[in-house]
Structure 1
Amino acid sequence: MRLRQLAWRATYELLGARVRRPEWAFMNYGYAPVDPAGAPLVLDAADEVDRYCVQLYAHVLDGVEVAGADVLEVGSGRGGGASWVSRSLGPRSTTGVDFAASAVSLSRRDRTGPGLRFVQGDAQALPFADESFDVVVNVESSHCYADMEAFVAQVHRVLRPGGAFVWADLRTAADVGTTRAQLTSSGLVAVEHRDITAEVLHALRLDDARKTELVREWIPRPFQRALRPFAGLEGTRNPEGFAAGTLRYLSARLERPA
């Protein structure tokens, strides 16, 4: 697990150092309802190009009181999600933390929003005081961590009593039960568990042509083949695993007891 974590760190540092385009704000797979009901999520014109990625944040935060809250995103990547939260949902403050120094540098340079800041730090040793946040967000990042239970213990520590932890990520079908147990391992109480594989796979398919073109335009040619699986493009391992049922995409909302 430690070697895998080091490999992910090296990958994200390389991406941040070599691909510094401000237009690349998100790295998640996205979310698109298979059978939409009701009005679509209203977005600013500048966010529309990243609609599916933004919709994944909107999904995990649905039902959470963000207005006036202190929000932490763990694994904030290139900063698009934290920026959208700060600009759109009315929190008092939004903090993004990421282990990749290059990603933090990009986020500080390119992302704006009221009360928004970015900090370098480790998800398994968060650099914040106890009970600092009302909401903790973790989107498509925890599969990189060497110790999921250590991460959840840190979330419990930095959450205020009554605070919410929202999470989304992919796992093998065999690991679903273990992952759900890990999410409650430090005393957080599950409010909702969902399997959103169909919605994530739908988003990947809808956004495939755009992402394929961006890989061609933005990624240096020697790295393009390696980035295709990272981006979840058609024909690569993860979309095929979602379609076959061997890989699942999960979301959850948990609370720290008051």
Structure 2
Amino acid sequence: MQPKSKAGSFNCELSPRALDKWNPAIKAAVESTGDTITIYGVIGEDWYGDGVTVSRIDAALRSIGDKAVTVYINSPGGDMFEGLAIYNRLREHSQEVTTKVLGLAASAASVIYMAGAKREVAMSAFLMIHNCWTLAVGNRHGLRDIADTMEEFDAAMADLYAEGSGQAVIDVAEMMDDETFIRGKRALELGFATGLLSSDEITERQDDQTQQSNALKAMDVALAKAGMTRSERRELFATFKSSTPRAAGEGKRNAALTDKPRAVELDLAPLPKLSFSVPA
């Protein structure tokens, strides 16, 4: 779902600040049970056009069936509209949903987190809430129309956070305006969390997938700061994938219960040379 305006459609962007603070190595210590879903990446399309989508969450819930479900989250956020769709899907689940933030639940991922009847967060973890973030071009009429549309979606998110936490909408809106990071204990105090997560449920694993994610996120942050749009960045990363010999023979992932970026080697040779400066 993408809102339309006089300037056309716009896409939600990852917050470079959230992406920079995200540590993809943080995962659940045990996550192999049949009633868990892991959200360990970008909401919506990630660097390779995959990412955590409502269709993948639907597949996971169908596989779990009529049972309580636990959702582990460590995500820098992503597409707000995809996040809202996943939130609604989890809220519709027939049994109790427990959401747990292991490292970071930023932006759209924090929306998904609020779907839990039980919401736990690690003492060392963070929620991040902010207004819808995008890059847009157009004349003043089109840009004003986009801003008006974004304001409505910001209000919807503020209502969602307020309903779940018990905070006043105006207070939540102020936190969103400030792009607020909320540590675990504070999230509990403010009502965003209903409990704290035990430290023995969390681990930090440095593996090929983690190294790949760190490399890709560093490139994504640099390109975003340089002014490259999300669609342009995704096209560039797609070139990485298509030019990698291993990519064609990887086979299918288990899309039902996990959302992890693929670990592939990057071949930069086929790419055009880029020239840009990154603002300090």
Write 1 or 2 for the structure with the bigger share of helix.
1
Give the TM-score band, short-chain normalised. 0.3 to 0.5
What's the TM-score, normalizing by structure 2? 0.32
More RCO (CA 8 Å, sep 6+): 2
Q: What TM-score, normalized by structure 1, do the two folds share?
A: 0.34
Q: Determine which structure has more spread, i.e. the larger CA radius of gyration.
A: 2
